[in-house]
Amino acid sequence: MTPTTNSQTDQPAAILLAGRMETGAGEPLPVVNPATGESVGFCGTASPAQVDQAVSRAKRALTDSGWGAWEPHRRAGVLHAIHDAILADLDRIAGLQMLENGKTRAESQAQARAAAGVFRYYAGVCETLQEEMPPARGPYFTMTVHEPLGVVAALVPWNSPLTMGAQKIAPALAAGNAIVLKPAESTSLVSLALGEACVAGGLPEGVLSILPGRADVGGAMVANPEVGCVSFTGGTGTGQRIAATAAERLVPTILELGGKSPHIVFGDADLEAAAKTVASGIFGGTGQSCVAGSRLFVQAEVLDAFRDLLVAETARFVVGPPTDPKSVIGPLASFEQRARVEAYVAKGLEEGGHVITGGARPEGAGLDQGAYYLPTILGGLDNRSTVAREEIFGPVLVMMPFETEADLIAQANDSDFGLASGIWTADYKKAWRVARALEAGTVWINSYKQLSIAAPFGGFKLSGLGREKGIQGLRAYQQAKSIYWGL
């Protein structure tokens, strides 16, 4: 079917229903460029009835195509073809992400390549992963096999729709499932483009649907009785509501939620290297990252020296249009998100903090029309302040001192979240002690945001349940069955 198109973006104004572009029955979503504030078109949306249709078609497709029973190397071939299809359409796909959420062209292209790499990785895992043979404890032969859960309902956020989408679609497909994915309202076009690349890779019809829409679409997906697994990345509050709904049917749930990650600098660290990475760890992607190092703890003896280095590094983050090669960071993903960030900065000042750098919108060069905000460092606050407790999801860093290792661990762990953390020290024994003591799913030592699709990723506490990426990320979409064969 030839999709209807948006005349301004030349992108589908429909939905991807069971592998085919069809007209959405819901009210279209406006597409606004956060770099300019201009309306650039619209995107079709699904109705709850179309959600049910997509799920039922997905379940039927698993039977009709036998996708879940395909030999692993055959499924791997399709995943490899999806990898190639994404790369073949990289400029268009990356351009849509840049248009919808304001990431720079360079970052969008890097994320498109990373999304393709996710499919390549899970193609390899799919083809080579072996089943388990537990040791027998009697006259029998034992094997544990892993089988697909059926239809997966996946919901992804707006900050990195390409990589987040790939990290759900690829392992779910590799595990033999069908998947129905809801993108964030503001990044639906790029998610549809990712879905088109998947279909171009040779997926059986019905195995994949991409359903843009509002909250009613996500609610219908999670509540559908034929959904066998729910995978969500986004805010903690929404994740808790999804978990409550899924719990009624005891549906397996994967939740990758919020973070308020501590970035720690000890007095013996390489301060110049640490300053560069602390800055990129919070201001990269305009701070719109679940692992952003938004709580900075610096040992008191080097606080002043490190602050000066960090301010100098922050000045290197040129704020500008995503299309400008000189821009290091673009606008926030929406004007609503900028208003949220500004409200948090105001709250920090109200609670006694002060602005070390930033704390305002940039001026001139056409930036007044976009959702831009300067990289901001706040001082004069402690770990009990609102900006140190709640996830801001923007380019705002709160800088706080600590005295001893024990003091640091107590403060770093005093949070509802536990997604990621970073440590800077020249003492390897101390690095190991602190890494083991921190309550976080990922710990970086003398680095930050070094991510690998091959390593499990997830959080402690209110940062989520389960793990994505790696072999565990594929197994999360399967259920184990033990078979005993008497001898």
* CB proximity list for 177: less than 8 A, separation 6 or greater: 62, 68, 148, 149, 150, 151, 152, 228, 229, 477
Write out the two tokens for 237: 């509050």
Catalytic, out of 22, 107, 196, 256: 256
The DSSP secondary-structure symbol of 135 reads: P
Written as one string, the DSSP assignment of 281-335 is HHHGGGG--TT---EEEEEGGGHHHHHHHHHHHHTT--B--TT-TT-SB---S-H
Report how far residue 217's alpha carbon sits from residue 49's, in angstroms, rounded to the nearest whole number. 9
Catalytic, out of 59, 168, 182, 449: 168
The Cβ of residue 137 has, within 10 Å, a number of other Cβ atoms equal to 7
3-class state of residue 139 by DSSP: coil
4-34 b/e (C-beta count within 10 Å ≥ 16 → b): eebeebebbbbbbbbbebbebbbebbebbbb
Residue 290 annotated to the active site: yes
| Contact between residue 199 and residue 61 where contact means Cβ atoms under 8 Å apart | no
Write out the two tokens for 1: 């079917």
Catalytic, out of 290, 313, 439, 449: 290
Catalytic, out of 103, 391, 468, 469: 468
R_g over Cα of the chain: 23
Active site residues: 168, 256, 290, 468
